[in-house]
């Protein structure tokens, strides 16, 4: 990986792209430290420094924002509204025929779907910004902090609207910065910003584990967490690169005097075909009952049950529910993202077939059979990786933002591998040597 970056900096045009990407990253990180108007910054810092300030319902969003959410800055919402909007549009593409038709139109249809994603991102940013301001005004954002209700001194309508508009504009700016990286930099801009947001929380989280440790001043716990993290990175790289290759052959066809086809290729089916989406779905779904119970008044029985069983990461009911939801959403997302019938029809149209399998319906059934079998280990792997923060909560007395948690490691490794692949592919294009020298 380091060799690829070193060679890239020696290539002038790639060096410009890398420096441009680094410049956008610096701007993004600066924005995560600029507080929005109407916030008492001193009280916010007091609540952040308080015990268990990061162990709330907003841990996942705070991680995706690079710690900007709990600091209530202009980039507090981060990239999360765009991620949510992208997932919603992807799911709606299967349900709404108009979106499915746009997806099949090629580049023009993709541009239209991207435009819809931007509009939905702004709408979600307004909604999430309003919710964040409401929780900050009522003191719910930092439970247990003595000055939590004094974070927003002026609670007038004008100040509230200004805060929501500022955070919405910050989300639009983050989306624009990500698109700039995609167009003029290296890699997928949104993925790069997500990578940076998560990586920015690592130093503070690791140092927090060291300070909370009891063995040799916390250094034994610190070293153990590093070793566990390296092992998990290796495991994630191994599984993310694992795939089942379905061989495909294309029959020869004579068109005029030319012969076409006769080649052999394969269909790569990844073990983790769903990626990080099931973990995000499961986390978001588990947040809903806890969030409803948090805002509900009184001491109803259902509220007490939720607070005791679905808000504590080390509770058995929470662990089992989280694991089952991840497995379910893994199969659900694979089912809507990969259509065996469509793949079989395309193969039949161009004269392709799987050796030993008849074209058409038998091919679709075979692909479904293989996909279901490899999705089982992939979903179980996702569930186990996602439970690492829970085990850390018990073993290291760490908070829920344990740096080597499932969501963070999956994103860090996935984006890192994809970015390095893009750099290496561009280096190969520029270092190509022909037959004549």
399 and 353 in one domain? yes
pLDDT by residue for the chain (437 residues), tens only, comes to 567 667 777 788 888 888 999 999 999 999 888 888 888 888 887 877 664 444 445 666 677 677 777 788 898 888 888 888 888 888 888 788 888 888 878 788 888 888 999 999 999 999 888 888 888 887 777 776 777 777 888 888 898 899 999 999 999 999 999 999 988 888 888 888 888 888 887 887 777 777 776 666 677 777 877 887 788 888 888 888 888 888 888 777 666 666 665 678 888 888 888 887 888 788 777 777 776 776 666 677 777 777 777 766 667 788 888 889 889 988 988 888 888 888 888 888 877 888 888 888 888 899 999 999 999 998 998 888 888 766 665 555 555 455 666 677 888 888 888 888 888 887 777 665 444 44
170 and 130 in one domain? yes
Q: According to the model, what pLDDT value does residue 53 have?
A: 43
277 and 193 in one domain? no
Task: Report the mean per-residue pLDDT for the chain.
Answer: 80
Total number of domains in the chain: 2
Does residue 411 form part of some domain?
no
CA–CA distances in Å: residue 146 to residues 53, 97, 297, 311, 399: 12, 52, 20, 22, 20
CA–CA distances in Å: residue 364 to residues 13, 32, 245, 361: 45, 48, 15, 5
Q: According to the model, what pLDDT value does residue 292 have?
A: 72
Q: According to the model, what pLDDT value does residue 126 have?
A: 93
DSSP category for residue 259: E
Whether the CB-CB separation of 165 and 179 falls below 8 Å is answered with no
**Span 242-270, pLDDT tens digits:** 888 888 887 776 666 666 656 788 888 88
394 and 286 in one domain? yes
Domain boundary among 200, 228, 257: 200
pTM of the model: 0.78
290 and 249 in one domain? yes
CATH number of the domain enclosing 170: 1.10.3370.10
220 and 183 in one domain? no
**Span 176-215, pLDDT tens digits:** 999 999 888 888 888 888 888 888 878 877 777 777 766 6
The boundaries of the domain holding residue 311 are: 215-404
122 and 92 in one domain? yes
219 and 189 in one domain? no
Does residue 427 form part of some domain?
no
Does residue 182 form part of some domain?
yes
């Amino acid at each position: 990986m380091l060799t690829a970056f070193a060679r890239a900096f020696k290539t002038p045009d790639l060096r410009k792209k890398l420096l441009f990407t680094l410049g956008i990253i610096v701007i993004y990180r600066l924005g995560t430290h600029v507080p929005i108007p109407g916030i008492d910054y001193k009280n916010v810092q007091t609540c952040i420094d308080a015990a268990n300030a990061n162990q709330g319902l907003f841990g996942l969003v705070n991680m995706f924002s690079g710690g900007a959410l709990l600091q209530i800055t202009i980039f507090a919402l981060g990239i999360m509204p765009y991620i949510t909007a992208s997932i919603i549009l992807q799911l709606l593409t299967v349900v709404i025929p108009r979106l499915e038709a746009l997806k099949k139109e090629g580049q023009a249809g993709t541009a239209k779907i991207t435009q819809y994603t931007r509009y939905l991102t702004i709408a979600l940013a307004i909604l999430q910004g309003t919710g964040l301001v409401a929780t900050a005004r009522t003191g719910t954002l930092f439970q247990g902090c003595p000055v939590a209700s004094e974070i927003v001194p002026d609670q007038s309508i004008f100040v509230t609207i200004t805060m929501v508009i500022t955070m919405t504009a910050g989300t639009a700016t983050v989306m624009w910065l990500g698109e700039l990286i995609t167009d003029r930099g290296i890699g997928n801009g949104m993925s790069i910003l997500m990578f940076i947001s998560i990586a920015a929380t690592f130093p503070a989280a690791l140092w927090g584990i060291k300070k909370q440790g009891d063995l040799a001043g916390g250094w034994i716990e610190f070293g153990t967490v590093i070793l566990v993290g390296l092992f998990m990175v290796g495991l994630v790289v191994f599984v993310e690169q694992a795939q089942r290759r379905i061989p495909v052959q294309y029959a020869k066809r004579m068109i005029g005097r030319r012969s076409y086809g006769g080649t052999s290729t394969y269909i790569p089916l990844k073990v983790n075909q769903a990626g990080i989406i099931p973990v995000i779905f499961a986390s978001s779904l588990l947040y809903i009952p806890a969030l409803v119970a948090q805002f509900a008044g009184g001491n109803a029985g259902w509220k007490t049950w939720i607070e005791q069983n679905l808000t504590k990461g080390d509770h058995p009911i929470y662990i089992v529910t989280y694991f089952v939801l991840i497995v379910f959403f893994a199969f659900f997302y694979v089912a809507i993202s990969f259509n065996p019938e469509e793949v079989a029809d395309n193969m039949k149209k161009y004269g392709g077939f799987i050796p030993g399998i008849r074209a058409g319906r038998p091919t679709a059934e075979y692909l479904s059979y293989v996909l279901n079998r490899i999705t089982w280990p992939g979903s179980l792997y996702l569930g186990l990786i996602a439970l690492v923060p829970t085990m850390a909560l018990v073993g290291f007395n760490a908070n829920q933002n344990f740096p080597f948690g499932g969501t963070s490691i999956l994103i860090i490794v996935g984006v890192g591998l994809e970015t390095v692949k893009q750099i290496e592919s561009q280096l190969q294009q520029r270092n190509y040597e022909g037959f004549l020298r």
